[in-house]
Structure 1
Amino acid sequence: MLDLRLIREDPAGVQAALATTGIAAPIAEIVAADERRRALLTEVEALKAELNAGSKLVGRTKEPGEREALIAANRALGDKIAALDEAAKAADAHLQELMLLVPNVPLPHVPVAADERGNVVVAEHGAPADLGFPAKPHWELAETLGIIDFERGVKVSGSRFYVLRGDGARLQRALIAWMLDLQTQHHGYQEVYPPALVLEQTLVGTGNLPKFGDALFRDAHEDK
């Protein structure tokens, strides 16, 4: 999540940076929601100070009638504080919802372009091999070798899925094992095997929600 202070201090700059990506983020709404939340919190703190002073005054007041009036006033003040507290919580929740709609701003040196044709080559390593014939994309080679089955993948899971077969399945398993061994044995990482299902808040924290909500599977009964 983007730092709220950045939006608060330079909303126009954030809006301009995001505009280069084609994303219309609710920056103006965030600024307004932040101002409302802060105003509510300021009012609550002022009323709490007033209530604290009123409570001390009750303790010093001896006359019964005056004391009862002060107690009633403090009770009404407490009710007002409770209502404002709820309003502040609602304002904060609304602000957080808006903040989740704002992606990271691109770095200044990132080229601005309408599509991938505007990408800039940053570095090249080695030279492309001269095969002497037109190279085929990997998906065509895999299908020719019989190690990938697009038709069956679509049949069982829908579009853009595939089934790896034979050496294709072995290759994927080997690559996974190689990557894990390399990182854990030579680069100081620790291998973990996390649960297959996670809570909604976990996906929010990792940036998957709300953006990819429509593409995720959910167990509504277990998501607390």
Structure 2
Amino acid sequence: MPDNHPMDSTQNGTNTATGLSRFPYGRWLARLTVDGGWLWVLMLLTHELGHGLAAWLTGGEVVSTDLRPGALGHTLVEPNPHPHWVVWGGFLSGCLLPLGAWAAIHRAVPRIAGDLRLLVGFCLLANGAYLAAGGGESLTDTGVLLSLGWPYPVLIAIGLLLAIPGYLLCRRELGLRMTAVRTGGIGWASITVRWLALAIWVAGQAAIAAALAAE
């Protein structure tokens, strides 16, 4: 008869160690790094574009903007007749643009549906954390909102409402990626393509940012 009892601690420890030693850590780190690069660049871009769009819609004039890939950008608006909308525009765009991209594309291109879900989760987490924890510096978006009269507890509550589901979504999607790496569903070829695509994107965005800064 088969033995249905759990293995003893020594046997379990040996198997666990063997399983850990066989996990493709190099491939997992490479995929995690390139995904992190994409998430960071796109999160900052969607947030900063929201400030500029809100300024344009409310009659403001963008004096300067920094869209360098990966940089902590800024958008200076003068005159700025509706600063509340301009500041909130970054958070709204930073969350709604990724969500809209997922809603529009995930059925048509199911291959990247998981990537879009991870982007949505990361943008919710990053924007929510920034809103909730950014009150210590007057030049942050949160600091500007505080100077405009928004109560900090309200901003913290909104930030947490964004960050918590974002964290849960990121955790789910990263778990699925780890499983795919372990089972061979994610290989070096696809990781290499992602790195090349990221390099091309960063170069293109940097060129556009430099052209905007020179105007």
Query: TM-score when scaled to structure 1?
Result: 0.27
Query: TM-score when scaled to structure 2?
Result: 0.28
Higher relative contact order (Cα pairs below 8 Å, separated by 6+ residues): 2
Higher helix share: 2
